[in-house]
Structure 1
Amino acid sequence: MDPLGARSQFVDVQTLHPWDSQPDPHGGEAPQGPGDGLENDQAFPSPFPCRPHINRKIILFTGGVALLNCTAIVNTSNESLNDKNPVSDSVHQHAGPELRDELLKLKGCRTGEAKLTKGFSLAARFILHTVGPKYKVKYRTAAESSLYSCYRNILQLAIEQSMASVGLCVVTTVKRGYPLEDATHIAFRTVRRFLERHGDSMEAVVFAVSEVEEPVYRKLLPLYFPRSEEEERRSLPLLPADIGNSEGEPVVPERQIRIAEKPGTLEEDSDSDSLDWDLGQVGSHAFSRMEGDVDKQRRLILQGHMSEVAMLKQHQRNYSRWLCRARAEDLSDIAALKALYQTGVDMCGRTVVVVVGRNIPVSIIDLEKALLYFIHVMDHVAVKDYVVVYFHTLTAEHNHLNAEFLKRLHDVLDSKFKKNLRAFYFVHPTFRSKLSTWFFTSFTVSGLKEKVHYLDGLRQLLTCIRPEQIDIPPFVLEYDARVNGPYHLPESSSL
C-alpha cells in the first residue's frame, strides 16, 4: 500500500481521551480541577494515590501502536531485531523498507535494552526498539527484572530525547510466553513511578493494546492510576504483594539483608503489634515495622546490653522507617531543585548519580526532606555498584551542607550505600572543599577517603564516563570552558 494513502489510518494522540476523563464504572467520578489528588483518610495510605495530573497523561488505546501519531512508538522484537510478531510486522509495514536497513546497523539489542531509530514513513518521528524477556517460571525473578528494564529504558531514552509523547505496545509477545496480567503490573507501576518523577517532561503515555489485551489493561489501570479517592480505596487490597521499589523495579527478597535477632537480646517493643496491621497490608517489602523507644534502645547500646546482631537489625529498622517516609511524602519541591539525579552508566557499567552543589539552597530548604529525597532516589541505586559525580562548580557558602547533616545522613543510610559506592568524583574542587572533605572522610566516615577522586576539569571526568551517559549542567560546561579551555564533546549516537 502506498504510504501516502495510509496516512488516513494514523491516529492523533491529541484526539484520544485520557484516562482521567473516563468515569469510574463503580460510581466514583474522576476528580476535577488542577489538584494533585484528594487527601486519603484511610489508616494505611495507598502507595499509588490518586493524582489527576498524572492520570491526564495516561491514554488507553485499542489498536496498533504503529498507527499512533506521537513523538515515538515502541516496537517489541528479539535480540536480532528481526522478530516476526503482530506488533513488529505492523511497525515494519507502515515504516517502510528503510527501517529494516537501519536496524541492520544497530547490530542487535540485548534483552531489557532500548534502541532508537527514525520513524521513516510512520506518523511517529521515532521508534524505540526493545527486547522483552523469555518467561520461565524457574527464572521468574530474572524475567521480571528484565521486563522492568525494558519499560524503564524506553522511558529514560524518551526523556533524554525530549519526547513529548510515547506509544507503548505490550512489550511481551506470545512467543516469549510472559503472562499478560503479570507483565501489565510491571508496565503500569514502572510508568507510574517514572511519571511521578519525570512527569513534567512528558505530555502523554499511550498504552496501545489489542482487543484481547484491552480488558486486562482496563482492569488493572485503576490500581496504579486511581481516578478518585473511592477508586484508590477499592484498589488498595487488589495490589500485588510486590509493588517494586521507588522506581517500580521488582524487589528481590534474596537480596534483602535479613538478620535474625537473638532471643532475649532486646526488650519487646510495646507498640510493634499495633503497627503490624498498619504497615503490612501491601506486602512486607516496602514497609517494615517501626522502631520502638529509640532513646531506650540507644541507652541499651551504650550499656552494652545489645548484641552486634541486634544493633544491626535496629539500624535496618531505622532505615526502613526513613524509607517508608520517603515513599509517602511529597518531595516534588526538592526534586525541582535538580540537585540530585540519576543519569547513565560509567565505562564499567556502574550507575552514575549526579550531585550539583550550586543547586542546594541549604539556608532555605527543609534538610529533613532533603535527606528523605536522597533516600528516595538512592535506595534502588545502592543495591548494586554505583558512582557519584559531585559538581562543586561555582558553589557558594550558602550551598555547603554542614558536617552535622552529613554525619546524620551517614548514620541513617543502610550499609549497602557505603558497600556499593565505587567512586566519588569531586569536580572543580577548591582548597577549602578539599580540606573539609579530607577532615570529614578521615575522622567522621571511615573507608570513604580512598574512593574520593578530585578532578579539576571535565576532560578527566569524561575519561571515566562517556559524554552521552552523563547530564552535565550547562553552567558547569561554561565554567569549565572558561577555566580549562573549550572541550568539544564527541557526537552522540542520538538521531
Structure 2
Amino acid sequence: MPEGMDPLGARSQFVNIQTLPTWQQLEEDGERIPQDLSDSLLSQQSFPSPFPFRPDINSKVILFTGDVALLNCTAITNTSNELLNDKNPVSERIHQLAGPELKDELLKLKGCRTGEAKHTKGFNLAARFIIHTVGPKYKAKYRTAAESSLYSCYRNILQLATEQSMASVGLSVVSTAKRGYPLEDATHIAFRTVRRFLEKHGSRIEAVVFAVSDTEEAVYRKLLPLYYPRSEEEERLCLPLVPADIGNSEGEPVVPERQIRITEKPGSLEDDSEEDNLESDLGQVGHHAFARMEGDVDKQRKLILQGHLSEAAMQKQHQRNYNRWLCRARGEDLSDIAALKALYQTGVDMCGRTVMVVVGRNIPVTLIDLEKVLLYFIHVMDHIAVKEYVMVYFHTLTGEHNHLDSEFLKNLHDIVDAKFKKNLKAFYFVHPTFRSKVSTWFFTTFNVSGMKDKVRYLDNLQQLFTCIRPEQIDIPPFVLEYDARVNRRSQSSGL
C-alpha cells in the first residue's frame, strides 16, 4: 500500500526525531542584523545576555516543520478546549492517527482547565503519550491573564513530562488561531519558558521538538536565536532584540503591583491618608528585619481595635503587602532555596487535589536566609493555592537544626494570601514525634485559627497511601528506608 494510505497511519509515516538536526546543528542561515545597526545597538548595551550561548541546551532543541502527530517522541502535545473536544488541525490529526480509543480516554479526564495539562496514552501513534493542554483565549485588555495562562500551559506540559519520566516531548503551538493569540507574542512565551525549564531541569529531558506548520515556521526561526543563540557571536547580535519583558527566573510573566488605590469612602481624604500612613509604616519588603513583619500586622490590628481602620481597609492593605512579597518572589533568584528540594509539587490525592510535599530534613534552618525561604514558598504556592490542595510534611529524621520556629511560621501565616488557608484541605504530618505533636497542637490552637482540624498525624506510609496513591507522590529515598525499617521493627515486636 502506498505511504500515507494506511488509515491507521503506516509506521513509515512516523518521523524518528533522532534523524532530525538539533537547533545547534542547523547552520546559522537566518536573517542577519546589518553590522552597522547591530554595532550601534550593542554600543548601548552593557549588560550580559539573559539567554547566553548554551550548546548543551541547543542540542536538546529541535525545530520541526510538519505534523506533530507523526513524531516518535515519548509524548506529543495536543492543544484543545476545556472539554477536550476542540476541532483544530492539530487535534484532528492526532485523533485521526491515534484512533477511536483516544476519544473514549478523553471522556474519563472530565475536561481540562485553561493552563492545565493532562495526559493519555498515545494508542496508535508512535508517541507513547499525548499531553493535552488548553491555551487561553486572547483579548488585549486581558493580556496579562492570557500571558500567565499560556506560560502555565508550557510549564505544566514540561513538569508533567518530567514527573512521568518522558524523555522527549513534541510541542505543538499551544494557542491556536481560533483562540486569537498573536503568534509572535505566544512564541516569545513558549521559547523563554522552555529555555528556563531546560536550564534547571535539562538533565531530565533529552529532547524538546517545536513542531510548527509552514506558516508558523518563519516566526519560530526568527525568534529562536534570541533565546537559543548558537554561538557567542549570535548571542551578541541578538542581545539588542531580546524583549525587555522576559519574565522571572522561570520565564513566568511578572505582574507589577497594581498602583490603583480604592478607598472605602471615595472622596474621603481622611480615610486615604490613613492608608498612606500605613503604607509608609510598612515600608518596602526587604528593607526591615524579618521579625518586624509581624509588628506591622499587629499595628494594623491595634488600629482596627481603636476604630481607626476598618476591616475592609485592613484586607486591602494585607493584599497590597502580599502583592509586594509576590512581586519580589517572582523577581529574585531563589535557585539556592529551590536546590534544597524541601518544597515541591507532585501528583494528586484520591479526590484529585494537588499534592505539595515539604521535606523537613532538607531545611537547614541555621544555614539559610529565612526571608528567602518565605519568598520561595510564596513563589511556588501562589498558583497552587488558587484551587484546593493538600500538603504532606515528612518529619522523618529531622533534627533541631531543621525545625522552623513558631515565630517564622506565624509571620508566614500573617503574610500569605487568604486563598492559601482557604484552599488547604488537609495537612498530612508523616512520622511525627511526641514533641512535634505537642508543638503543632500549641501552634495551631493559639496562633493559626482553623488549622488544627486540617492536621492528620500519620505514623507510616501505608496510612498516607489510603489518601494518596503511591504513584502520585514522590517520596525521598531516606523516608522510604526509614518507614520500611520502622515497619519491620513493629512487626517483629508484634510476633
Relative to structure 1, the CA distance from residue 191 to residue 292 in structure 2 (aligned partners, 3 Å threshold; closer, same or farther) is closer
1:106 pairs with 2:105: yes
1:16 pairs with 2:22: yes
Relative to structure 1, the CA distance from residue 26 to residue 175 in structure 2 (aligned partners, 3 Å threshold; closer, same or farther) is same
8 Å CA contact 1:12–1:69 kept in 2: the answer is no
2:130 to 118, 128, 131: 128
Displacement of 1:478 in angstroms is 2.8
Give the Cα separation in 1 of the matches to 2:331 and 2:236.
16
Matched position secondary structure for 1:363 = helix
Give the Cα separation in 2 of the matches to 1:82 and 1:117.
16
Relative to structure 1, the CA distance from residue 202 to residue 140 in structure 2 (aligned partners, 3 Å threshold; closer, same or farther) is same
Relative to structure 1, the CA distance from residue 80 to residue 329 in structure 2 (aligned partners, 3 Å threshold; closer, same or farther) is closer
Relative to structure 1, the CA distance from residue 171 to residue 300 in structure 2 (aligned partners, 3 Å threshold; closer, same or farther) is closer
1:411 pairs with 2:414: yes
Give the Cα separation in 1 of the matches to 2:240 and 2:178.
37
Counterpart of 1:50 in structure 2 is: 51
Listed as ranges, the matches of 1:238-257 within 5 Å are 248=252
**Percent of aligned pairs with the same amino acid:** 59
Deviations 1:149-193, CA, capped at 9 Å, x for gaps: 654443233112222321111245566766545654554465356
Displacement of 1:292 in angstroms is 11
Deviations 1:92-147, CA, capped at 9 Å, x for gaps: 78x6xxx426536625453454323257673x5x2314264695869989988876
Relative to structure 1, the CA distance from residue 25 to residue 135 in structure 2 (aligned partners, 3 Å threshold; closer, same or farther) is same
Task: Report which stretch shifted further, 385-394 or 84-93.
Answer: 84-93
Counterpart of 1:235 in structure 2 is: 242
Displacement of 1:340 in angstroms is 0.4
Relative to structure 1, the CA distance from residue 21 to residue 263 in structure 2 (aligned partners, 3 Å threshold; closer, same or farther) is farther
Deviations 1:41-63, CA, capped at 9 Å, x for gaps: 77xx9xx9325459534443323
8 Å CA contact 2:249–2:332 kept in 1: the answer is no
Give the Cα separation in 1 of the matches to 2:471 and 2:151.
22
Relative to structure 1, the CA distance from residue 132 to residue 157 in structure 2 (aligned partners, 3 Å threshold; closer, same or farther) is same
Relative to structure 1, the CA distance from residue 408 to residue 188 in structure 2 (aligned partners, 3 Å threshold; closer, same or farther) is same
Matched position secondary structure for 1:374 = helix
Task: Report which stretch shifted further, 423-432 or 75-84.
Answer: 75-84
Give the Cα separation in 2 of the matches to 1:212 and 1:83.
21
Counterpart of 1:362 in structure 2 is: 365
Relative to structure 1, the CA distance from residue 430 to residue 249 in structure 2 (aligned partners, 3 Å threshold; closer, same or farther) is farther
Counterpart of 1:395 in structure 2 is: 398
8 Å CA contact 2:254–2:331 kept in 1: the answer is no
CA radius of gyration, larger in: 2
Give the Cα separation in 2 of the matches to 1:476 and 1:269.
46
2:67 to 51, 64, 68: 64
1:264 to 246, 270, 273: 273
Matched position secondary structure for 1:387 = strand
Relative to structure 1, the CA distance from residue 237 to residue 439 in structure 2 (aligned partners, 3 Å threshold; closer, same or farther) is same
Displacement of 1:430 in angstroms is 0.8
Counterpart of 1:285 in structure 2 is: none
Listed as ranges, the matches of 1:314-325 within 5 Å are 314-325=317-328
Flag structure 2 segments of 5+ consecutive residues without an equivalent.
4-9, 36-44, 265-270, 490-495
Counterpart of 1:473 in structure 2 is: 476
Relative to structure 1, the CA distance from residue 375 to residue 423 in structure 2 (aligned partners, 3 Å threshold; closer, same or farther) is same
Relative to structure 1, the CA distance from residue 231 to residue 238 in structure 2 (aligned partners, 3 Å threshold; closer, same or farther) is farther
Counterpart of 1:35 in structure 2 is: none
Matched position secondary structure for 1:381 = coil
Counterpart of 1:275 in structure 2 is: none
One-letter amino acid of the counterpart of residue 477, structure 2: P
Displacement of 1:212 in angstroms is 0.2
Matched position secondary structure for 1:390 = strand
8 Å CA contact 1:74–1:169 kept in 2: the answer is yes
Give the Cα separation in 2 of the matches to 1:82 and 1:318.
42
Displacement of 1:320 in angstroms is 2.7
Listed as ranges, the matches of 1:168-187 within 5 Å are 168-173=171-176, 180-181=183-184, 183-184=186-187, 187=190
Give the Cα separation in 2 of the matches to 1:212 and 1:128.
24
1:482 to 485, 490, 494: 485
Matched position secondary structure for 2:99 = helix
Deviations 1:416-475, CA, capped at 9 Å, x for gaps: 322322221111111011011112222332332222111122232222223332222233
Counterpart of 1:207 in structure 2 is: 210
1:373 to 376, 398, 412: 376
8 Å CA contact 2:254–2:327 kept in 1: the answer is no
Give the Cα separation in 2 of the matches to 1:412 and 1:230.
44
For normalisation by structure 2, the TM-score amounts to 0.71
Give the Cα separation in 1 of the matches to 2:140 and 2:331.
34
Deviations 1:233-289, CA, capped at 9 Å, x for gaps: 6433577xxx699684898x99x99864732214469999xxxxxxxxxxxxxxxx9
Flag structure 1 segments of 5+ consecutive residues without an equivalent.
29-39, 273-288, 487-495
For normalisation by structure 1, the TM-score amounts to 0.71
Counterpart of 2:355 in structure 1 is: 352
Number of corresponding residues: 444
Relative to structure 1, the CA distance from residue 137 to residue 179 in structure 2 (aligned partners, 3 Å threshold; closer, same or farther) is same
Task: Report which stretch shifted further, 325-334 or 68-77.
Answer: 68-77
Deviations 1:333-356, CA, capped at 9 Å, x for gaps: 221221100112223332211001
Matched position secondary structure for 2:352 = coil
Give the Cα separation in 2 of the matches to 1:14 and 1:76.
23
Relative to structure 1, the CA distance from residue 147 to residue 317 in structure 2 (aligned partners, 3 Å threshold; closer, same or farther) is closer
Give the Cα separation in 2 of the matches to 1:434 and 1:472.
22
Counterpart of 2:334 in structure 1 is: 331
Counterpart of 2:267 in structure 1 is: none
